Amino acid sequence: MVAVMTVVDDEPPGAELRRLRPVLETALDAVVVMDAGGWVIDWNWRAEQTFGWTREQAVGRLMAELIVPDGLREAHHQGLARYVATREARVLGERLEVSALTRDGREIPVELSINRWADGDQILFVGFLRDVSASRRAAEDLRQSQARLLATQQHASVGIAEVDGTGRYLRVNPALCSITGYSEADLLSGMTFLDVTHPGDREAELDRYRRHVAGELDNYASENRYVRKDQRIITVSVSAAAVRDRAGQFLYGVRVVQDVTERRMAEARQRLLMDELNHRVKNILALVIAIATQTGRTATSTAEFNRDFAERLKSLAKSHELLIRERWEGAALSDVVVGALRAYGARLTVEGPPVRLSPRAAVSLSLILHELGTNAAKYGAWSAPGGTVGLSWTPAGEAHLELSWTERGGPAPSPGPAGFGSRLVTRLARDDFDGTAAFRFAPEGVEILLSLRSFAPEASAAPPEDGPA
């Protein structure tokens, strides 16, 4: 809003003031005319709208009483007095920003420009006052919005960057520095996002970005590998958006980058787990079918079948409970022994160093020990009051374990046709351990030597470091 202030000496305005009137009527800013004594001579329509005083109400009153705030009135009076005494005005031709009052007492910011207008011997001061409240609010809103945006970027957990048409970094946030391993100074020294993109992904990402800048892709998302400053390879997801002018010309791009390496590795591990679970379920079902078939061949009655089949399934279940406690990462051989033979208490002696078994080996060995224990309780050492069993194992080279089962104090064994138990032990040793089972029927008791391989847990599977599995 612009106000025109006219200072008129002792005589009333003349022809020049009359010629000024059309300017007042057509001006888009507030225009006020005031004489050297501070009295309002004229007041245009925009001044009415801005300050709330009609022309009839304003003309003939002191300017200080209308729009000059209390804190500025003394300076206003001094300026007028100085002009009357020296004909010097310090604010002529300057563009100022001051406060002004409205009729309802509100104080608003205005831009003020004062010019001198001569009417013969009389001097008019023409000032233009423009209400800048809206622009002030807009500027403050913009400042706050920019501050919020900057704060959001600085504290965001994802990387955010602004890049030019060549991909050169213009602005980066701390999270992007953390993701790439480069400092802000490094990234803003002329680096582009292609400098941190893995060579194997660079060509495809460059093609997407060229089409992005050209307007063929306004927004796009991709997943790439980044090579960090420490040369570690990570996987990132990128969301790219373009900022354009009104004509549609590319100004800069905004790229949001998130490190998804751990998520991709977790997904790969989950796929591996599902594949392993599927494989194990199939193996378990095949094992249950085999147990049921063999138990049925040797059982002499339905009751015997039900009893033996249930006991063997319980043994299988115990081994799986142990693996569940170990999160299917394998089990200690000593824990497998305790789980399978706990019921025989002090009549069993165990000796051997710590050995870790794979999940499959744990299940198979649990079944073997169950069959050996069942046979000893029915026909061997544990069928007699003082019979005992000794169980020991010794590593015999890399990935090779020898396990010895020795019965003493029971009935003298008599070799005969191989039953279900011995066939199961032999088959499991061969198929699941790539090993052998040797039976010796000595007068003092049965001795069984298991030579086992392929019993140790495999190294944890993980996606390759240069990308998602």
Give the containing element (helix H, strand E) for 24: helix 15-26
Distance CA 343, CA 367 (A): 15
The CB density around residue 281, as the number of other CB atoms within 10 Å, is 10
Query: Is the confidence at residue 148, as pLDDT, over 80?
Result: no
Classify 126 in phi/psi space as left (phi over 0), alpha (psi -120 to 50) or beta. Answer: beta
The share of the chain scoring above pLDDT 90, in percent, equals 30
Residue 221 in domain: yes
Query: Is the confidence at residue 466, as pLDDT, over 50?
Result: no
Residue 14 pLDDT: 57
Residue that is last in its domain, among 216, 231, 259: 259
Please report, as a single letter, which amino acid is at residue 232. R
Residue 5 pLDDT: 45
Whether 224 and 101 map to the same domain: the answer is no
356 falls in which pLDDT band (50, 70, 90)? confident
Residue 372 in domain: yes
Query: Is the confidence at residue 172, as pLDDT, over 70?
Result: yes
Residue that is last in its domain, among 232, 259, 286: 259
CB-based burial label for 323 (10 Å; 0-12, 13-18, 19+): buried
Whether 239 and 370 map to the same domain: the answer is no
Distance CA 428, CA 294 (A): 14
Residue 71 pLDDT: 87
Query: Which residues are CB-neighbours of 99 under 8 A, at least 6 positions away?
Result: 69, 71, 72, 107, 108, 109, 110
Pick 232 or 8 by higher pLDDT: 232
Whether 160 and 132 map to the same domain: the answer is no
Residue 168 pLDDT: 96
Distance CA 403, CA 357 (A): 13
Residue 327 pLDDT: 57
Most confident of the ranges 46-50, 80-84, 271-275: 46-50
Question: Which token pair is 30?
Answer: 């507030």
DSSP type of residue 412: P
Query: Across the strands, what pairs with 101?
Result: 107
152 falls in which pLDDT band (50, 70, 90)? low
Residue 115 pLDDT: 77
Residue that is last in its domain, among 85, 102, 136: 136
Whether 328 and 448 map to the same domain: the answer is yes
402 falls in which pLDDT band (50, 70, 90)? very high
Whether 121 and 191 map to the same domain: the answer is no
Pick 327 or 200 by higher pLDDT: 200
CA distances from 191 to 168, 175, 184, 444 (A): 6, 17, 10, 82
Buried b (16+ CB within 10 A) or exposed e, 212-230: bbeeeeeebeeebbbbeee
SS (H, E, C) 339-359: HHHHHHHHHEEEECCCCEECH
Whether 195 and 96 map to the same domain: the answer is no
469 falls in which pLDDT band (50, 70, 90)? very low
Question: Which token pair is 340?
Answer: 């399978």
17 falls in which pLDDT band (50, 70, 90)? low
Distance CA 349, CA 226 (A): 57
Residue 8 pLDDT: 43
Pick 384 or 340 by higher pLDDT: 384
Residue 393 pLDDT: 93
For 391-398, what is the mean pLDDT? 86
CA distances from 298 to 305, 372, 419 (A): 8, 16, 8
DSSP line for 181-244: ---HHHHTTT-BGGGSB-HHHHHHHHHHHHHHHHTS-SEEEEEEEEE-TTS-EEEEEEEEEEEE
Pick 419 or 363 by higher pLDDT: 363
pLDDT digits (tens, 9 = 90+) for 33-52: 887 778 888 888 898 999 99
Question: Which token pair is 355?
Answer: 């050995």
Percentage helix, strand, coil, to 5, in the chain?
A: 45, 25, 30
436 falls in which pLDDT band (50, 70, 90)? very high
Distance CA 344, CA 370 (A): 11
Domain CATH number, residue 116: 3.30.450.20
Residue 5 in domain: no
Residue 362 pLDDT: 81
Nearest-Å Rg of the Cα atoms of the chain is 47
The angle that helices 333-341 and 302-325 make with each other, rounded to 10 degrees, is 150
Please report, as a single letter, which amino acid is at residue 208. R
Average pLDDT, the chain: 81
Residue 268 in domain: no
CA distances from 371 to 38, 68, 424 (A): 117, 107, 8
Distance CA 63, CA 58 (A): 8
For 208-225, what is the mean pLDDT? 92
The CB density around residue 267, as the number of other CB atoms within 10 Å, is 14
Number of domains in the chain: 3
Whether 226 and 189 map to the same domain: the answer is yes
Contact 130, 110 (CB under 8 A): yes
State how beta strands 122-131 and 388-395 pair: unpaired
Query: Is the confidence at residue 63, as pLDDT, over 90?
Result: no
Give the containing element (helix H, strand E) for 10: none
Whether 363 and 327 map to the same domain: the answer is yes
Residue 279 in domain: no
279 falls in which pLDDT band (50, 70, 90)? low
Among 54-63, 65-74, 315-324, 366-375, the least confident range: 315-324
Whether 323 and 438 map to the same domain: the answer is yes
Residue 285 in domain: no
For 288-300, what is the mean pLDDT? 68
CA-nearest of 405, 347, 413 to 380 is 413
Query: Is the confidence at residue 159, as pLDDT, over 80?
Result: yes
Query: Is the confidence at residue 15, as pLDDT, over 70?
Result: no
Whether 124 and 170 map to the same domain: the answer is no
Query: Which residues are CB-neighbours of 321 under 8 A, at least 6 positions away?
Result: 339
Query: Is the confidence at residue 283, as pLDDT, over 70?
Result: no
The boundaries of the domain holding residue 246 are 156-259
The angle that helices 359-378 and 261-298 make with each other, rounded to 10 degrees, is 20
For 124-138, what is the mean pLDDT? 82
Domain CATH number, residue 446: 3.30.565.10
Residue 461 pLDDT: 39
285 falls in which pLDDT band (50, 70, 90)? low
Residue 462 in domain: no
The CB density around residue 287, as the number of other CB atoms within 10 Å, is 19
Whether 41 and 166 map to the same domain: the answer is no
For 231-245, what is the mean pLDDT? 93
Residue 276 in domain: no
Distance CA 314, CA 327 (A): 20
Classified as helix, coil or strand, 113 is: strand
The share of the chain scoring above pLDDT 70, in percent, equals 80
Whether 443 and 319 map to the same domain: the answer is yes
Among 4-13, 86-95, 159-168, 346-355, the least confident range: 4-13
